[in-house]
Amino acid sequence: MIDKLLGLRVFEDEHGKMNVSLREIRGAVLVVSQFTLFGDVRRGKRPSFDDAAPPEQARVLYEYVVEKIREQGIECSTGEFQAMMDVSLVNDGPVTILIDSEKVF
């Protein structure tokens, strides 16, 4: 997944096409743990977090991802794991991409 993330061609080339990767632009990454994104709303009206990893396991995975990104020579900033944070950003374009290592139906 890390190779996929760093190699995704989601930045514009000289023709305005999404054709350049984070590696190619020598970009940086902000990794923020976001437990609430794992809410499953396929049934009912209340999100279920039953399939989310326990905090101890999730922290190990979070730190692993950050370490592996940095090993690739990519600048990687982080949020504070398991903390309430206010994060703001400017989204350049109407693109949202879900990266999932296992597609579940």
In DSSP terms, 21 is beta-bridged to 9
Q: List active site positions.
A: 34-36
Which among 26, 32, 23 is positioned nearest to 5, based on CA atoms?
23
What CATH architecture does domain 2-78 belong to? Answer: 3-Layer(bba) Sandwich (3.50)
38: pLDDT strictly greater than 80:
no
* Per-residue pLDDT at 104: 61
Please tell me the least confidently modeled range out of 17-21, 37-41, 49-53.
37-41
Residue pair 30/77 in contact by the 8 Å Cβ criterion: yes
Q: How confident is the model at residue 105 (pLDDT cuts 50, 70, 90)?
A: low
- Domain range summary for the chain, segments of one domain joined by +: 2-78
Label each residue of 49-100 as H, E or C.
CCCCCCHHHHHHHHHHHHHHHHHCCCEEEECCCCCCCCCCCCCCCCCCCCCC
